Structure 1
Amino acid sequence: MELIKINLAKDFSKTPGSRYEKEGKFSGELFRKTILAPAIKEAIKNNNKVEINLDGTAGYGTSFLEEIFGGLIREDKISYVELKKRLSIISEEEDYLLEDIEADMLDAKNDIND
């Protein structure tokens, strides 16, 4: 099983922006559509995993993170179960983000199932 590594600060931006592309540069929507969703879809297809490292940025707005992780479920139609199997998230600088992201994914899962 291969590990696809994504370092958000190096592979996208040290200054992540807001939720939507229309709101400015380096949006969560852009990151999800161009980097994260394709990596997850490739991992599913090839039975691999994706590791995303969130460290090294100037910080995150909650809407950015909700868009990339909740958006994988809502917009890209990737199941919560599949994400939990394929996705590993590193956040040593701000470890509370892991709980926030889990909540975002669960909320998106529940929205889809309602």
Structure 2
Amino acid sequence: MGRDFSPCPGGRSRDDGPWCAEAFREDTLRPALDAEDVVVLHLDCAEGYGSSFLSEAFGGLVRPGTGGFTPEELHRKLRLESRDAILVREIWSYIDHAHA
């Protein structure tokens, strides 16, 4: 993600700048998920991820009003790769709990 989107992603909404979660979700991630059977995200190339970025980018995929996917669909279509297992668990937590 750091190479293809931004090495310094941050912020929740487009008002926060061009490398925000909303831009990543709507301009990069959602089109890839719509077009591909499986999308692999390599997460280790960015400097870090704030919780607001992760919540909006990934939880927003299933949240009413911004979503369109179910957690089950994302578990089938999305592969998260990182040396940081806690980061991967955190992202799945945002996905699995956003629909509630």
Q: Structure 2 length as normaliser, TM-score?
A: 0.92
Distance in 2 (alpha carbons) for counterparts of 1:106 and 1:20: 21
- Aligned length in residues: 98
- Residues 59-78 of structure 1: matches in 2 within 5 Å? 59-74=48-63, 75-78=66-69
Shift of 1:24: 2.2
The structure with more helix, counted as a fraction of residues:
1
| AA at the equivalent of 1:104 | Y
- Where do 4+ consecutive residues of structure 1 move more than 3 Å? none
The structure with more strand, counted as a fraction of residues:
1
Which of 78, 81, 87 aligns to 2:78? It is 87
Gaps of at least 5 residues in structure 2 are none
Q: Structure 1 length as normaliser, TM-score?
A: 0.81
| AA at the equivalent of 1:62 | S
Gaps of at least 5 residues in structure 1 are 1-7
SS in 1 for 2:2: helix
1:107 aligns with 2:97: yes
Radius of gyration: which is bigger? 1
Alignment match, 2:20: 27
Distance in 2 (alpha carbons) for counterparts of 1:56 and 1:49: 20
Alignment match, 2:8: 15
Question: After superposition, what is the alpha-carbon deviation per residue over 1:6-46, rounded to whole angstroms, capped at 9, x for unaligned?
Answer: xx111110000111111223001000000000111112xxx
| AA at the equivalent of 1:107 | H
